[in-house]
Structure 1
């Protein structure tokens, strides 16, 4: 392998590389330099290992060596489910940098082995194609465009590149700990498969991504304060994937039960605090407001608009959201008499 994915996009403006200093991000750093891509780096220090501070210092020194900006963030995350909370923390940081400095794309150094491991784990959880392809070469998260230029490079090729060019990098010792599910899949299944079937696996992911693009219609939510809405796609699977992605981008993972109930349409309460209202042409998402006393005229208008009962409490206190719904349903704003 010698070519990065999406080179034409990488040359648009300036990009931000999520940089850990490990094998993959270090290789991507130097490959970007070779292709004359304008970029800066962002490093998050979780202080989980003895080497954490040294890795942060190395990242800053490397950026200085090549006259790049190195953005750093330091945090300590205690408690359970560290991997999920760490991911949320770093993406908040990356999103902040993207907006503040106007970067065109966020780059992550996911590669082919990562993709295979993810697919295997999702398959063992009973997931569908969109979930199994959760690591895509071009993605979007909370309005941030994400590119993964290394996604067709396998781990062995990346390590060979670093060795050939004598490029120093850090090794995360936790990668050998099979208490982490991903590591267990890596050592037992994906690494042996990749050695024997690398080219076929790479082709299969190309086809799967193409198939997914033709089967799943995007669902683009518009957000106004705490109210969000989107036009419904033409098939139920795309609808569930779109709503699932909406919640995932906000740090909440829908359960399998949630996904099954969404297929029936209508109104649903998610995590006891958010209402999802699916009607003929649109899906509306808003905080669930209980025990709101509404006047008779408002209740009658909602009935005529065929708005779900669970959504009405929020709409009563949000004229702006109600105005959006009237506009979508092509209903004029009612006259108000003081």
Structure 2
């Protein structure tokens, strides 16, 4: 009997799936067929609770979408990305109502909650920038006095939205740069520390922001960079680093996000442009160890997961820093750097893990 796997997503913009995710869903369904999985797509709004059935979206052999009523699956791959809409609560309600389903992954906390939990692991803690939940201007003043660069980040933000960089100058002033919540690059401003919260008064700093130690991410041309690593469980239920890529931000951007105009480069190529071959190899090994330590620590608190993307910085001395974790990662970065096999593996691994989970969990 074919094992059914439901991909749970959310509608956005009047009941249309995210354009970014739909091509990925197509590939999951196609690869699932090859592996013997019956994969379909649904949202919590498609569930008929009384009948325990789902009005699912399916893909026919010609690549056209159609609807069909299907039984509740035993396996669910949750791809519901955060959105400030009641639809996101429906995802949580679905998971609470059907705890018997085998979920490939688990929701994490917001950035602050994840930081607190990761701080409990001694190995991971050494790689975390100092971070506080923004309560008042006193928090910002503390960081500005201690570090030459400070970041303000929304605790629930994605894609580089609403991130500000504050760089100390030698004349008692600070250079404020960043992207607003709509991802638009801010006009750089030179301000006194006391003026910064007022300049960002519409951002809701006290309600939903973190203040964080800045890591020196600038390359010789002034652009910032970091590294995106993807770690996934394989067909044996074991964690394995699937691949990594470097990301270089757009000109005048304080983040490296591809959606914000950044570009992707092979991970090892970027490391070797900054360090010797021996040092670059050592740093890459440190990144992989950090990936494994991070997912093990998060699983202790949130339960079993199938994949995680980590954004990692490497400072000029070669120390690795964990900037962020993402439990619902994209994987197009591997196509952008020409690593087609890594890209294919990044798609098939959750499916292979689903098959393992079905066989090994009663």
Q: Normalising by the residue count of structure 1, what TM-score does the alignment of the two structures yield?
A: 0.26
Greater helix share, structure number: 1
Greater strand content: 2
Structure showing greater relative contact order (alpha-carbon pairs closer than 8 Å, 6 or more residues apart): 2
In our comparison, the structure showing a higher alpha carbon Rg is 1
